[in-house]
Amino acid sequence: MKYDLLYSSISNIQNQNNDLMTKLSSGKEVNEPSDNPLGMGQILDYRSALAQISTYKNNIDSSNAWLSTTESSLSSVNDILTQVKETAVSQASATATASTRQTAADSLQPLIDQILSLANTKVGNSYIFSGTRTDTEPFSATSSAAHIGPAVKAIGDAFDGSVSSGGTYTAGTSNKTYVVKIVSGGAIGAATYEVSEDGGRTWLAGGPQATGATINVGTEGVQLNFTAGTKDFAANDVFTVNAYAQGYYNGNGEELSSEVGSGVNMAYNVTGEAAFTSQGQGTVDIFQRLNDLKTALQNNDTAGINSQLDYLTQASNQITRYTALCGTRENGLNTSSSTLDDMNTRITGLNSNVEDADMAKLITDYQTQQVALQAAYQMAATLTSNSILNFIR
Amino acid sequence: MGNINQIFNTARDAILANLTAMNVTSSNIANVNTPGYSTLRPDFGSTGVFNAASDQQQVGVKITDVERLYDKYLDAQAVEQEQYGGYSQSQLGVLNNVQTIFNESTGNGLNSLLSQFWGAWSSLSASPTDMTERDSLVSISQSLASMFNQKSNELINTQQDLNTEISDDVTQLNGYLAQMADYNNKIVQIQNSGGNPTDLLDKRTQLLQQISNLVGVNYYEEANGALNVYISNGRSLVEGNNVWNLAVQANPSNSNFYDVVFQDTPSQTINSALKGGTIAGLLDARDTKISGYLSSLNTMASTIITQVNALHNSGYDMNGNTGENFFSTATSNAARDMKVDPAIVADVTKIAAGATVSGDGNVASSIADIQNNASLMGSGMTIDNFYESLISRVGQDVQDAQTNSDHQTAVLNEVQNQREAVSGVSLDEEMLNLIKYQAAYNAAGRLCATANTMMDNLINLGIETALTT
């Protein structure tokens, strides 16, 4: 019986020993959920938080890259506009002649081309001034009248007939992406559809209407024409058509944003619409004004040149406004970034408190265990040598 | 008037009695390490009446009984503790295994993959048309689905292992029951013919403990010596030499896992009537604990699948189409069957990151935000929180089982020690007894020799010797 007792206390100590060894070799206090159930839950929570912080910081970095390119492009545009304005001022005065104005007009074109090139800047494969249509070059060299682009049938549509756009974009004041989505499938005339004016995010009131060979898309003059194929419409078939207001701009006015904090989405783009046109949020059509100035110079039109001077100031202000906005946003992002850094440090510390082992304490405990183990072994040895059998001869 | 023969008789009684006593002592010494052996004590009893005036002038001795030292109460305690010990040991073993399935300490578990999954959607929202981002998202999503599959399968496999173990334990129990009936039979027979089947009694007590370790039992000893064993709802397992075996029956409403039944009433499950013991521990682990973990895993998987698909369906992919399902629709075994829809894997342009057809990343952003939605899992928990609380629960269950097991082991040890104190063989004591009996034997032998000499003298009275002529 005494041997049993001894054995169980030795094996107890050895079990505790094994536990200590695990903690010593991993450096962690919590190696299994059962070591500290609540603590394990906390550790997982901290890890999730740290991973999220890392994601936000990545997003901040990519937003910053976009913003700094935007800022430097706009800043360069502003420099050129200042140059243009100087030329315009000097050519508006009485000392200018037809030939100086002609020379000025000629020297204006390269500057306009430069601004065009800056307005079509890309970051990676994305145009930065196109709004959300980052695959489309935002500005053309020449102005176009209001027009409707071709109708596009989405690749996965069941409908295999043909679709074309029609009508005139008479009432439109800015570029729009119209989306027609089939609600309930069927043949032309039986299927129903709904219309979105904002690229498919929200749908116009009035509920689904019946399709037909020609349908009105929205209320601003855009139409779509359908020709039946072998397969009917299916629900969720999508048809897209872009409508362009008069001008040089081919993008839209939507913002791009990314998540830089929990539930915090920050816009990081400046649309060409706002910075360079008079559509949407913009007030001055810069390219139009520059081309008008060039025409006035070529025509030796003093009054014409004078009337552009004001617009040039407004243009400069418009560009400056958005340049400053970029700067403000960058500052905001940097603040967020350093806040995230602080959170990172704090949460790492909290995690370490729960998860990491106190090495000094572990080693001390280990030494104590060794002493206890030795004592137990010693006792086992002496027990076997003491028995009445030693004394009976 | 004395009688020398009576001295011989007395001496003979003494020698025989002490010889028997030494045999008992030698049995004890031989069985010092036999588990469950109860020390035997010879009871010396005097025989005869001493009446100096008549012929009755001796008081002999005989061994009236060989007593088996045991404490009925301690035996009963040991049987009871065995069932608690069996229960918590079996639970501890299973839960330790399950804990390794959920091992998150190295940081490569489900928690980390979930973080990567949400992070990948967030990155996609910042560059919605980047093909590398899309490929990366699909890859991470597939890893996530695989991990759900893996954990689910491991839990199901554990359940199946337990299933087999339960069946094996029932077979083992039936073996014990047959043995118990056999012992009952022999013990009753021997006791009827006046014998004292001490070693069978010891073995039967041991067997009872082994049975109790498997299944908590109540027992009752009849007057004729048979031991009747019942389970907690009163149904008999053994009565005398009659045995009612247990069996296992597949239960189709529980994934065809086994229910425990009596062999003669296979349609009545007795799972809930088994209280304590290994089998009950395994049943609880299989049907309550592991099922619970599996169900939590399934809830998580199906919530992720449903929420992501719902948002994905509201978005547009790179081809201008509305988003199809990102994950294949959740089945009832959501975690085991979770996978990224093959159409998405084949063509990553079908990932619907945008809320419009133009190439924004707002839907991807909303999907990433599911991580922060605290209304999905009840009690203000996000999906991540839910997993954290699942892990905590596993850890707590293991800790509880460990505490119970440690406690049971300590109590059982204590009971065993007390039993040893009462019934165990002490070599020191046996040695002293040996000396005692040996001395008595020697003295009785000396008595014989003395009586012999006296008898000689008596017989040789009246024989001519050299002195008388």
Give a three-class secondary structure readout of B353-383.
Answer: CECCCCCCCHHHHHHHHHHHCCCCCCCCCCH
Q: Give A45's contacts in chain B (Cβ within 8 Å).
A: 384-385, 388
- B106 vs B113: CA distance, rounded Å: 12
- B225 vs B211: CA distance, rounded Å: 19
The stretch A156-183 carries a mean pLDDT of 88
pLDDT tens digits, residue range A69-110?
999 999 999 999 999 999 899 888 888 888 888 998 999 999
Handedness of CA B192, B195, B197, B198 (dihedral sign): positive
To test the contact with chain B by mutation, choose from A23, A217, A259 the residue with the greatest count of B C-beta atoms within 10 A, namely A259
Q: Of B317, B283, B342, which is closest to residue B91 (Cα–Cα)? A: B283
Option in A8, A265, A388 nearest B428 (CB): A388
Q: Amino acid identity, residue A3?
A: Y
Contacts of B388 (CB under 8 A, 6+ apart): A40, A41, A42, A44, A45, B111
Buried b (16+ CB within 10 A) or exposed e, A270-279: bbbbbbbbbb
DSSP assigned state of B323: P
**HSE (CB half, 13 Å, CA atoms) of B390?**
29
B283's tokens: 């049943």
Option in A43, A58, A134 nearest B129 (CB): A134
Q: How many CB pairs under 8 A join A and B?
A: 190
pLDDT tens-digit profile, chain B (469 residues): 457 788 888 888 899 999 999 999 999 999 988 888 999 999 999 888 777 777 667 788 889 889 999 888 999 999 999 999 999 999 999 999 999 998 888 888 999 999 999 999 999 998 888 899 999 999 999 999 999 999 999 999 999 999 999 999 999 999 999 999 999 999 999 999 988 898 899 999 999 999 999 999 999 999 888 999 999 888 999 998 899 999 999 998 888 899 999 999 988 889 988 989 999 999 999 999 999 999 999 999 999 999 999 999 999 999 889 999 999 999 999 999 999 999 999 999 999 999 998 888 899 999 999 999 999 888 889 999 999 999 999 999 999 999 999 999 999 989 988 998 898 898 888 999 999 999 999 999 998 899 889 888 888 887 766 665 5
Neighbours of B466 (CB within 10 A): 5
Measured CA to CA in angstroms, residue A231 lies from A78, A187, B389 at distances of 54, 8, 51
A285's tokens: 């059509």
Measured CA to CA in angstroms, residue B46 lies from A354, B8, B12, B435, B447 at distances of 75, 16, 14, 21, 17
Q: Give A177's contacts in chain B (Cβ within 8 Å).
A: 356-358
DSSP string, A229-253: -SS-B-TT-EEEEEEE-SEEE-S--
| CA-only gyration radius of chain B, Å | 39
Question: pTM of the full predicted structure?
Answer: 0.87
Q: Residue B66 forms beta bridges with which residues?
A: B42
Beta strands in B4-114 (DSSP E): 40-47, 60-68
Give the ranges where chain A is alpha helix by DSSP (H): 2-26, 37-92, 98-119, 272-276, 286-298, 302-355, 359-385
Asked if the interface predicted TM-score (ipTM) of this complex is over 0.85, the answer is: yes
B105's tokens: 């300490």
The dihedrals phi and psi of B229, each to the nearest 5 degrees, come to: -120, 130
Measured CA to CA in angstroms, residue B454 lies from A197, A281, B173 at distances of 138, 143, 66
Interchain contact, A51 vs B116, CB within 8 Å: yes
Sheet containing B246-251: order of strands: B246-251, B257-262, B265-269
Assess B94–A contact: CB distance below 8 Å, yes or no: no
Interchain contact, A263 vs B126, CB within 8 Å: no
A333's tokens: 């992002």
Contacts of B191 (CB under 8 A, 6+ apart): B197, B224, B225
Q: How far is CA A97 from the centre of its chain?
A: 51
DSSP string, B406-427: HHHHHHHHHHHHHHHHHHS--H
Is there a contact between A243 and B321 (Cβ–Cβ < 8 Å)?
no
Interchain contact, A32 vs B395, CB within 8 Å: yes
* A391 φψ region: left (φ > 0), alpha (ψ -120 to 50), beta (else): alpha
Contacts of B173 (CB under 8 A, 6+ apart): B211, B214, B215, B246, B279
> Residue length, chain A?
393
Measured CA to CA in angstroms, residue B434 lies from A64, A384, B86, B430, B440 at distances of 96, 21, 40, 6, 10
| Three-state SS at B219 | strand
Is there a contact between A343 and A55 (Cβ–Cβ < 8 Å)?
no
pLDDT, position B1: 41
Give the ranges where A120-211 is alpha helix by DSSP (H): none
pLDDT, position A282: 87
Measured CA to CA in angstroms, residue B20 lies from A247, B303, B430, B467 at distances of 125, 79, 14, 46
Q: Of A161, A56, A262, A154, which is closest to residue B352 (Cα–Cα)? A: A154
Place of tokens 């409403």: B253
Option in B100, B126, B357 nearest A62 (CB): B126
The CATH-assigned architecture of domain A28-142+249-356 is: Up-down Bundle (1.20)
How confident is the prediction for chain A on average, in pLDDT?
90
> Residue length, chain B?
469
Option in A28, A47, A132 nearest B111 (CB): A47
Option in A52, A156, A256 nearest B321 (CB): A156
- B397 vs A64: CA distance, rounded Å: 48
The stretch A173-190 carries a mean pLDDT of 89
Q: Give B320's contacts in chain A (Cβ within 8 Å).
A: 152, 154-155, 238, 240
- A350 vs A360: CA distance, rounded Å: 19
Assess B421–A contact: CB distance below 8 Å, yes or no: yes
- B159 vs A233: CA distance, rounded Å: 49
Contacts of A311 (CB under 8 A, 6+ apart): A284, A289
Is there a contact between B227 and B176 (Cβ–Cβ < 8 Å)?
no
**HSE (CB half, 13 Å, CA atoms) of A340?**
24
A288's tokens: 């139009």
Neighbours of A182 (CB within 10 A): 23
DSSP assigned state of A184: E
Percent of chain A surpassing pLDDT 90: 47
**HSE (CB half, 13 Å, CA atoms) of A152?**
19
Interchain contact, B107 vs A47, CB within 8 Å: yes
Option in B123, B321, B359 nearest A155 (CB): B321
> Taking the domains of chain A in order of start, what are their residue ranges?
28-142+249-356, 146-245
> Taking the domains of chain B in order of start, what are their residue ranges?
4-69+424-459, 77-414
Which range among A301-305, A339-343, B298-302 shows the weakest confidence by mean pLDDT?
A: A301-305
Place of tokens 């204006």: A108
Is there a contact between A217 and A178 (Cβ–Cβ < 8 Å)?
yes
Q: Of B333, B267, B328, which is closest to residue B299 (Cα–Cα)? A: B333
Q: Locate the chain B residue with the closest alpha carbon to A61.
A: B126
Residue B302 distance to chain A (closest CA, Å):
20
Residue B409 distance to chain A (closest CA, Å):
10
